[in-house]
Structure 1
Amino acid sequence: MPLDDRYRLAFRLYPYARSADQDAAAPVRHPVVVVGGGPIGIATALDLGLQGIPVVVLDDHEGIGQGSRAICFAKRSLEIADRYGCAGPMLDKGVVWNLGKVFYQDRKIYDFNLLPEEGHRFPAFINLQQPYFEKFLVERVREAQADGAPIEIRGKNRVEAVEVRDDHTILTVATPEGDYTILADWLIACDGAGSPLRSMMGLDFEGRVFKDSFLIADIRMLSESFPTERWFWFEPSHKAGASTLLHKQPDDVWRVDFQIGWDVDRAEELKEENVRRRLDAMLGPEVDYELVWSSIYTFQCRRMKAFRHGRVIFAGDAAHQVSPFGARGANSGMQDADNLGWKLGMVIRGEAPDRLLDSYHEERAHGADENILNSTRATDFITPKSKISHVFRNAVLELAERYEFARPLVNSGRLSVPCSYDGLSLTGEDALPGGPARSRPGTPCPDAPLGNGFLLKGLGGGFTILTVDAEAPETVTEDGVTATRRAVSAADDPSGALALRYLGEAEGAVYLIRPDQHVVARWSGYDESALRAALRRACGKE
């Protein structure tokens, strides 16, 4: 199996076609240009296009690359995708899982459940090959285009040069029919970890590269030996790797990760016979399988110093990198798109000042730092850097087999959770005595089942005044921005989950919620002046 599948297509969804810009007498200026047709670039374009903002996506390929790459998509990413209108097919195709097991050598030391409580529309995770995730996003773009959303995807359009001006950028774009130039009021760089745009602008990452290598092998097999769970082995007895990870994907495909060390010959390790040698040692000679895809990666925990550079904004892997253990890469990138879309939309429409976009860096750099911290800790635990740290790591594993208190110390990759923006500049007051911590200002709204569906589905795409057994006006408009009421009560809460997640010890509550479903502020009752102030603050006006 070849190492580099990046130039092969799993789905040729947007073949090259000549655009009108290539025949224009002068460079055409666009409100937003997104560079990169991966999941974060398409999600960002979809967010903006659904707001009615014209956006052009430039991708150097004509569709979606082969190789499963990211496979674990978290509950929060599904909630974001649901707001865009494409979570249904992802959930239908994906392999749902909440359970996992941790092994030391050949012994199971404990198992875990990532979503033990009821009352959630989406599971903790689905496993879904990245090409499918991207395909469903692009198919949603096609539906949105048919409904008038001004989104254009241009395949085989590679950005060769960028010139940054105070109020726009100038892009030189290469195509099979020659180069052309376009202008962008706003340029969103979603062009991956190797981001050519980042290099063109003389920018770089800051952080750590860890000296260890991991071999990924995706295999197709029909086996009843492994359930739909995340299984992780420390020092497995099969000796095929210092650690091993196993996940099930759709279409009878399984992801296997082997920790193989730093000083390895990558070309040699990727030869099919050597990949099969490791797989055979793990699975046993009686298991038949087909090798689908393989690659080698190293742990990298790095980010840009600033995600915004004037009219150029970086998102996803172009802005930050983490190790894949913990499923923090694509899930963090989806939160980038979710955070950036509504803010850029407001600035373009003149509803918010330009400085609102500075909060994109503030909040998502905070999220990146959180992911890097967790990813670094996981890396240090999985790959001990000294003999004594190795001894201590294995002692923790021995304890965890017998004692529950030691299990939180085991780190096989703390799995992605949604980021909270506690205490950052857009977050308002918490005036709900006894309110639940999970719905405090700065957090993403927890979902809850209602008598007629789920809470998040009804929040809409703008600012929302959520009232729970409380009164408030149907709309509040402050400085050109309107927040619309969503009223729910105990009668809508047959399971009690809504009260548990939004009231706590309070008898009633009023929440102000952002377009990305994060809580701005909350009160025990309606306070007009406080709500107006919180709305101004959430729009970057205070």
Structure 2
Amino acid sequence: LQQYYFEDYLVRHIRKLQAGGKPIEIRGKNRLTSLEHHSDHTTLTIDTPDGPYRLKTDWLVACDGPRSTVRELLGLEFEGHVFEDNFLISDVIMTADFPTERWFWFDPPFNRGQSALLHKQPDDVWRIDFQLGWNIDREEVVRPDNVIPRVRAMLGPDTPFELEWVSVYTFQCRSMRSYRHGRILFAGDSAHQVSPFGARGANSGLQDAENLAWKLSLVINKLAPPDLLDSYDRERVPAARENILNSTRSTDFITPKTPLSRLFRDAVLDLAAHVPFARALINTGRLSVPAVYDNSPLNGADDDQLPAATRPGATLVDLPLPAQHGGWLSKRLGGRFQLVAINAPAVTARALTPGDLFHCLDVELISLTTEDAPLLRERYLAEADSAIYLFRPDQHIAARWTAFDPQAIDAALARASGQTSKTMEPAP
């Protein structure tokens, strides 16, 4: 999905929210020039064509990209690696009967000694990436009279195409040490950067937003203490490091930096044509998957009778549901705390919990059975007859049990929403 489509969908949704009365503004031609960071607020100085103005914020989320002005003004730095290889992006418009899948070449005849990538995008647009190496003339390589022969050599002389967009990029695998600095929080590329191999960049930024949004909402509405936001740091920094590790491994395989690395890579490619085990070693970018927050301070009770894939800290494992439940579990869950009872007797929320927290947080109780959704047994029960799962608003699992325990559920909900003094300590 091209970025301009994604941005258009976001703006359309914002306009819809605005029409419904949500206090959201998009301010164009506004540029941050300075900030004053205090213990209970941040004051920004914004420059516009009509002159500067000051803006006082209770909380500031810095989503201002890899060249973050907020990060620069605070004097904060990245830790990690900058890769020197240059890649040429050539988006071409063509009608082709290639399968809708991602193709990757190592040392192809049309780009000797380097790699190349082809994948389809909407509207008959195809993304072609050519590895160029280190020392290049950027202005020269993007000229159409240099790009078109490269593309034609790849596609063949009889395939008509039109250049839509051409650019050269390098990439980094870097992260800030911490994403929370008092009342300022960093998300997306302003907090971390990865190579494009594996679709980890935009996906991890969305996961940052999903993780932070519900916590910030609880804090702003005085339903949780500000310390809850420390868990954003405790969960998303390790997730970024995991992405950087996997992304760096892909990069090292695609663009080996030493003779030994190249020898290993080429040996794997040679073996893969003949020996099945070697095919699993080919690494052109392991596709992004959501991080499991195994060491999250918000994780509550667990029962090892239940499947490991749906343990506390993991995101939901999707499966089809009956139409009255939304068709898919992922569509049924999210946006609030939800308690899912599987093959468990129906219990009202009032009977379930003795405390007020269940009601203050507007927890929803959902009853499902394996008769309605057989995959629930494999993915959420294993050998157990029943299970109770507490889901967070971002669809991660907070705690789980094999039977109702009102006091344990209250304790897990308190921990997951930052209501206890031990919330910031890892669960045993």
Same fold (TM over 0.5): yes
The correspondence for 2:361, drawn from 481, 484, 487, is 481
1:449 touches 1:498 (CA, 8 Å); kept in 2? no
Aligned to 2:74: 201
Question: Cα distance, 1:254 vs. partner?
Answer: 0.4
Q: Are residue 151 (structure 1) and residue 24 (structure 2) matched? A: yes
Aligned to 1:218: 91
Secondary structure in 2 aligned to 1:255?
strand
| Matches for 1:398-417 after TM superposition, within 5 Å | 398-417=270-289
1:168 touches 1:186 (CA, 8 Å); kept in 2? yes
CA deviation map 1:244-264 (0-9, x unaligned): 111100010000111110111
Cα distance change, pair 392–460 in 1 and its aligned pair in 2 (3 A): closer
CA deviation map 1:140-184 (0-9, x unaligned): 111111122221111111111111111111111111211111111
Aligned to 1:50: none
Aligned to 2:301: 429
- Of structures 1 and 2, the one scoring higher in RCO (CA 8 A, sep 6+) is 1
Q: TM-score, normalised by structure 1?
A: 0.74
2:388 touches 2:402 (CA, 8 Å); kept in 1? yes
Cα distance change, pair 240–183 in 1 and its aligned pair in 2 (3 A): farther
Aligned to 2:408: 530
Aligned to 2:13: 140
Whole-Å separation in 2 of the counterparts to 1:349 and 1:241: 57
Secondary structure in 2 aligned to 1:244?
strand
Secondary structure in 1 aligned to 2:289?
coil
- Give % identity: 55
Aligned to 2:426: none
1:465 touches 1:510 (CA, 8 Å); kept in 2? yes
Whole-Å separation in 2 of the counterparts to 1:220 and 1:451: 41
Q: Are residue 444 (structure 1) and residue 315 (structure 2) matched? A: yes
Whole-Å separation in 2 of the counterparts to 1:367 and 1:139: 30
CA deviation map 1:120-148 (0-9, x unaligned): xxxxxxxx101101111111111111122
Whole-Å separation in 2 of the counterparts to 1:419 and 1:506: 26
Aligned to 1:57: none
Cα distance change, pair 240–153 in 1 and its aligned pair in 2 (3 A): farther
Aligned to 2:382: 504
Q: Are residue 326 (structure 1) and residue 198 (structure 2) matched? A: yes
1:474 touches 1:484 (CA, 8 Å); kept in 2? no
Whole-Å separation in 1 of the counterparts to 2:202 and 2:209: 11
The correspondence for 1:298, drawn from 170, 184, 194, is 170
| Matches for 1:337-348 after TM superposition, within 5 Å | 337-348=209-220
Q: TM-score, normalised by structure 2?
A: 0.93
Question: Cα distance, 1:456 vs. partner?
Answer: 2.3
Aligned to 1:186: 59
Aligned to 1:310: 182
2:111 touches 2:130 (CA, 8 Å); kept in 1? no
Aligned to 2:260: 388
Question: Cα distance, 1:241 vs. partner?
Answer: 6.5
The RMSD of aligned alpha carbons is 1.4
Secondary structure in 2 aligned to 1:160?
strand
Aligned to 2:40: 167
Question: Cα distance, 1:440 vs. partner?
Answer: 1.1
Whole-Å separation in 2 of the counterparts to 1:466 and 1:534: 14
Aligned to 1:34: none
Shift >4 Å, 4+ stretches: none
| Matches for 1:237-276 after TM superposition, within 5 Å | 237-239=109-111, 242-276=114-148
Question: Cα distance, 1:527 vs. partner?
Answer: 1.2
Q: Are residue 362 (structure 1) and residue 234 (structure 2) matched? A: yes
Whole-Å separation in 1 of the counterparts to 2:348 and 2:304: 21
Secondary structure in 1 aligned to 2:25?
strand
2:307 touches 2:380 (CA, 8 Å); kept in 1? yes
The correspondence for 2:332, drawn from 458, 464, 472, is 458
Whole-Å separation in 2 of the counterparts to 1:143 and 1:203: 36
1:478 touches 1:535 (CA, 8 Å); kept in 2? no
| Matches for 1:87-106 after TM superposition, within 5 Å | none
CA deviation map 1:460-508 (0-9, x unaligned): 5211110100136432455443422111012321xx2222211112111
